[in-house]
């Protein structure tokens, strides 16, 4: 029997120490070190031994790329995020909150791959076969070559992969499986690292595309380790409000494609459906009716612009220190915008509560949303309206000037398609006074934007 020893491992970043530390010296998180028992490092690692690769260096010109290197899922939003489908032999991490729909989308993907003649193994470490069957029936998945395997032991999974030799493997989820090679419990950093390592070797040596599902902790990390992100080829986050019906898939790392792509899905009883025109989701009829405290912006999510409504509510406070509440934007961003509005425009929020909401439950972290947020707040404070046919684009500097934003043409094109008439944009973007059917209002300072909004109302 191999000698065992224990190590203290940071569950946030994977830092190892021989004794307990209150604070991780690597990532600075407190109380994150957990004792994990492991076999002596001198013991030959069975997994590593088995996968020793005897390949010799080859000249670049002599290396042949195989045919059909991408597995297309025929779920167009997913294919787009992956850069045209799963790369054969790649290891993909799909991470997201519990209940967001990770199992659903992977099962749908499995169904689609089976349709195109691929053999698929779905390892379910959390749910029983019958639970999966119920879901598959709900999702209308019928397939002759989809294997469901309820299993939590990595060695058993490995031998089944060897026996079945599938084209595509799903591990649902990595936090629930354990390897005999590591003594600590399932879900710990060393288990996750070992199991992912084994899966990576299988994926690479047998050219099997593998999707690993990972849960995200409350503070937004993939539960346990960032370690996982480094090991895999592609990291996809599944996010959205689980109380609303749509979800966003976002690639955070992709060795084989662009990382700024976003795919939008809607959750229905028969599974996740692609949303081809997301603006219809985010801009409902109501957004087109003038209301104080509402402004429409165009954020640039990946390569696709999205029109989003920002709503603000400003009212006198009954607290000693007024409340600032945001939904979908960073609170510190709101504080900064309020400070600029106070100093450069002369509005006073010291006795006012301010609430800002991004409608549709999405997060907007782009600075180009600043001007829209500021106008929503300013118009609400003064009880005037922004013309609902106007889109607002611009980043605000601390001195109150408006900075140019990237991809302005793309954003404006989206506004044209969605039938908007006017756009308030930064002066520095150097555009003419009209763009296709849009009237362009160029602003240098935040005060100009507010004035042009008010005049837009007078004209209307």
Residue ranges in contact with Mg ion by CB under 5 A: 103
Shortest separation between residue 125's beta carbon and ligand ADP, angstroms: 12
Compute the least distance from the CB of residue 423 to ligand ADP, in Å.
36
Name every residue whose Cβ is closer than 8 Å to that of residue 317 and which is 6 or more positions away in sequence: 323, 351, 352, 353
Measured at the CA of 243, the angle between CA 237 and CA 244, to 5 degrees, comes to 80
Question: Cβ distance 364 to 299 under 8 Å?
Answer: yes
CB of 102 to Mg ion, least distance (A): 5
Should residue 273 be labelled a site residue for ligand ADP when binding is judged by CB under 6 A?
no
100 binds ligand ADP (CB under 6 A): yes
Interaction of residue 225 with ligand ADP, rule CB under 6 A: no
Give me the least distance between CB of 104 and Mg ion, in Å please.
8
Which one of the spans 94-102, 112-120, 321-329, 338-346 is the region binding ligand ADP (CB under 6 A)?
A: 94-102
- Least distance between ligand ADP and beta carbon 227 (Å): 21
Q: Is 221 in the site for ligand ADP (CB under 6 A)?
A: no
Report CA 379 to chain centroid distance, whole Å. Answer: 32
Contact flag: residue 197 with ligand ADP (CB under 6 A): no
CB of 213 to ligand ADP, least distance (A): 7
- Cis bond before residue 304 (omega within 30° of 0): no
How many other C-beta atoms lie within 10 A of the C-beta of residue 457?
Answer: 14
Nearer to ligand ADP, 36 or 97 (CB): 97
104's contact among Mg ion, ligand ADP, none, with CB below 5 to 8 A by partner kind, is: ligand ADP
CA of 222: how far to CAs of 44, 208, 232, 308, in Å?
A: 29, 23, 13, 28
Q: Give the burial class of 260: count Cβ atoms within 10 A of its Cβ; 0-12 exposed, 13-18 middle, 19 or more buried.
A: middle
- CB 270 to ligand ADP: min, Å: 8
What is the total count of residues that contact ligand ADP (CB under 6 A)?
12
| 242 interacts with ligand ADP by CB under 6 A | yes
Site for ligand ADP (CB under 6 A): which residue of 114, 222, 267, 310? 267
Give the contacts of 303 (CB within 8 A, at least 6 positions apart). 258, 260, 261
Where does this chain touch ligand ADP (CB under 6 A) — which range of 23-31, 34-42, 47-55, 99-107?
Answer: 99-107
Q: Rule CB under 6 A: is residue 445 a binding residue for ligand ADP?
A: no
The residue among 103 and 379 lying less far from Mg ion, judged by its C-beta, is: 103
Per CB under 6 A, contacts with ligand ADP among 123-162 are 138
Residue 269 interacting with ligand ADP (CB under 6 A): yes
The residue at minimum Cβ distance from Mg ion is: 103
Q: Is 379 among the residues that bind ligand ADP (CB under 6 A)?
A: no
Asked if 96 interacts with ligand ADP (CB under 6 A), we say: yes
Give the binding site for ligand ADP (CB under 6 A): 96, 98-104, 138, 242, 267, 269
């Amino acid at each position: 029997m191999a000698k065992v020893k224990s190590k203290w491992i940071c569950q946030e970043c994977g830092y190892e120490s021989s004794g307990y530390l209150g604070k991780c010296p690597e990532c600075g998180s407190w109380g994150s070190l957990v004792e994990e028992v492991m076999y002596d490092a001198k013991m030959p690692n069975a997994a590593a031994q088995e996968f020793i690769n005897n390949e010799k260096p080859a000249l670049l010109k002599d290396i042949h790329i195989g045919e059909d290197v991408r597995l297309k899922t025929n779920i167009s939003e997913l294919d787009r995020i992956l850069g045209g489908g799963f790369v054969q032999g790649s290891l993909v991490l799909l991470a997201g909150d519990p209940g967001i729909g990770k199992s659903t989308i992977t099962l749908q993907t499995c169904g689609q791959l089976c349709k195109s003649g691929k053999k698929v193994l779905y390892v379910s470490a959390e749910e029983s076969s019958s639970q999966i069957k119920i879901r598959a029936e709900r999702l209308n998945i019928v397939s002759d070559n989809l294997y469901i395997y309820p299993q939590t032991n990595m060695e058993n999974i490995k031998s089944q992969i060897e026996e079945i030799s599938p084209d595509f493997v799903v591990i649902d989820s990595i936090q629930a499986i354990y390897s005999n090679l590591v003594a600590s419990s399932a879900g710990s950093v060393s288990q996750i690292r070992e199991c992912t390592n084994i899966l990576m070797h299988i994926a690479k040596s047998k050219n099997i595309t593998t999707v690993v599902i990972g849960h995200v902790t409350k503070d937004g990390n993939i539960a346990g380790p960032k370690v996982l992100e480094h090991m895999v080829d592609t990291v996809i986050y599944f996010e959205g409000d689980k109380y609303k019906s749509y979800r966003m898939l976002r690639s955070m790392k992709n060795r084989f494609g662009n990382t700024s792509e976003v795919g939008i899905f809607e959750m229905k009883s028969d599974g996740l459906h692609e949303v081809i025109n997301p603006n219809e989701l985010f801009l409902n009829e109501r957004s087109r009716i003038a209301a104080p405290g509402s402004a429409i912006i165009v954020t640039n999510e990946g390569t696709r612009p999205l029109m989003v409504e920002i709503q603000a509510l400003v009212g006198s406070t009954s607290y000693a220190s007024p409340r600032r509440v945001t939904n979908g934007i960073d609170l510190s961003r709101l504080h900064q915008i309020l400070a600029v509005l106070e100093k450069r425009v002369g509005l006073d929020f010291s006795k006012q509560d301010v609430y800002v909401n991004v409608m549709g439950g999405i997060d907007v972290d782009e600075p180009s949303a600043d001007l829209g947020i500021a106008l929503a707040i300013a118009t609400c404070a003064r009880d005037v309206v922004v013309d609902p046919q106007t889109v607002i684009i611009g980043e605000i500097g601390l001195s109150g000037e408006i900075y140019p934003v990237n991809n302005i043409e793309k954003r404006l094109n989206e506004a044209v398609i969605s039938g908007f008439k006017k756009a308030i944009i930064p002066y520095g973007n150097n555009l003419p006074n009209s763009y296709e059917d849009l009237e362009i209002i160029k602003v240098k300072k935040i005060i100009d934007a507010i004035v042009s909004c008010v005049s837009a109302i007078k004209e209307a």
